Amino acid sequence: MRPTLVVRGLTQTFGGNPPFTLSIPWLELFPGELTYIGGPSGSGKSTLIKLLALETRPPAGDLWTLDRHINSLPDHQRDDLRGGGITYIPQGDLGLVDQPPVEIIRRLLFDYEGVDFAEGTRRAEYGLARAKLPPERFYTRVKLLSGGEKARVAIGKAYAAERPICLADEILPALDEETRMDIVDLFQELAEDGFTVVIVAHQPNLRNRFHRVVELDRGQIRSDQRYAPVVRGRPQATP
Amino acid sequence: MSPKQPPLLPLPATGRRQPPRTVPKQRAARSGSGAVSYWWYRVWRNIRDQPWRSLSIVIAVLVGIAIAIAIIAASNGIEHKINELLQTNSPDESQSLRRAGVNLDDIQAVLSTTRDLLTKLAIGFTAALVGLVTWVNTSQRRRAIGISMQQGQHREEVIVELLGESLILCSIGGILGVVTGNALCAFVNHESPLLPMQPGVGDVLAIFPATTLLAFAVTAVIAFIFSRFVDVAPAL
């Protein structure tokens, strides 16, 4: 299987005393895989995911996203790849403007793909249903939704938009334990639907729910292991 | 760390696994007859989303232009009235004024200069007000611009969207401002005939493009700064 995200010799240095350097010599992320990127604060987790989300151009090293070499892509094509290939869920407001969930997704689809109102509504409702958002919340403004419901909207966006890569940056800490489990379940399902799902998190107790755990420490990969994840409600799969 | 990734276990077979997704979605073409309705919808959507903000811009432009027209009309009226008074004096009175050391040409020159100055100040005041309102309005969009760019929007598209919104709101506010300014002048003329308000057509026509262009320029500069020099991440 071909990886959707490939990192080779990626290095980014930030000023400070001492300066911080993120250095990823080799990393490949695959579709169908739910990856946990963990590590202590300041280990470079968010920096890595922002680079993977194409928010910044990698200063040194190579990055391939969906078989395109990012370093040599012109800005417009990079924007297109970011819009057409990646759903990024940032921490805080999860990248959701204050509109009803269906409208948020409809606009995303209209702005990028030119999807019309009816088709956009259909895809939005499908995505939100897949993310198990209660139907009565489909047309409620986001600011009135709970933290768990907002996370479901963000995952629903990934389902509806069908971008192959979904990246989430520290969205779990804001949720209570039970909701956190539910959201990881949804990410597991998203991965099983063929998406490449990468989550930056700081919840070591959740690591057994992921296919793969990458631990960073002071800008370096300390460990990179793949597991047979625990799946709630189903007999545990064996590798 | 080894430069090679360690061998990983195969993905578990859960019985519901779907084929991998590896192809990005394609951006829709933005040309042809559909482009106008596409952009119109995006601009209109922004105006509709924040009705109070949109209304505040319209009102700011309206008030600014109406006040500027009133100032210009009042200065025109004062100049006209004084000229009229000076010219209707009898020749004897003019002679006596000149003998008293009063130079009528100087008075007329001062009046004319004052009128020009007030006109320029009024236009500048209105342009600055509109520029300020546009600056505040666009600055509040930082997060929305960040999200929009994260979702694949090009820098030019962000700028076009903001400029379109600015054009529509400033035009509505400008037209209403000209109407309100002229109505204000007519009202003062009616209530206080001693001070005729005379809005000059040329000055009124100058205010409208000056303020709209300034609002455009401010919007363009801010949109360019946000989309060019601010990373997407902080904008979120």
SS3 of B118-186: the string is: HHHHHHHHHHHHHHHHHHHHHHCCHHHHHHHHHCCCCHHHHHHHHHHHHHHHHHHHHHHHHHHHHHHHH
Q: How far apart are CA B207 and CA B123, in angstroms?
A: 6
Whole-number pLDDT of residue B235: 42
- Name the β-bridge partners of A112: none
Four-point Cα dihedral A187, A126, A145, A169, nearest 10? 30
Q: In this structure, are residues B58 and B180 in contact, taking their beta carbons and an 8 Å threshold?
A: no
User: How close is the nearest chain B Cα to the Cα of A189, in Å?
Assistant: 9
Distance CA B236, CA B219 (A): 20
Residue with tokens 């940056």: A169
Residue A196 has pLDDT above 70, yes or no: yes
Q: What is the pLDDT of residue B227?
A: 61
Tokens of B155: 């820098």
Higher pLDDT, A198 or B109: A198
Question: CB distance from B3 to chain A under 8 Å?
Answer: yes
pLDDT tens digits for range B44-75: 998 998 888 889 888 888 888 888 888 888 88
B11 touches chain A (CB under 8 A): yes
CA distance B143 to chain A (A): 9
Q: Would an 8 Å CB–CB cutoff place B48 in contact with chain A?
A: no
What digits encode the pLDDT tens for the residues A123-165?
Answer: 999 999 999 999 999 999 999 999 999 999 999 999 999 999 9
How is the beta sheet containing A5-14 ordered, strand by strand?
Answer: A20-29, A5-14, A60-65, A68-69
Q: Which helix (H) or strand (E) covers residue A34, if one does?
A: strand A34-38
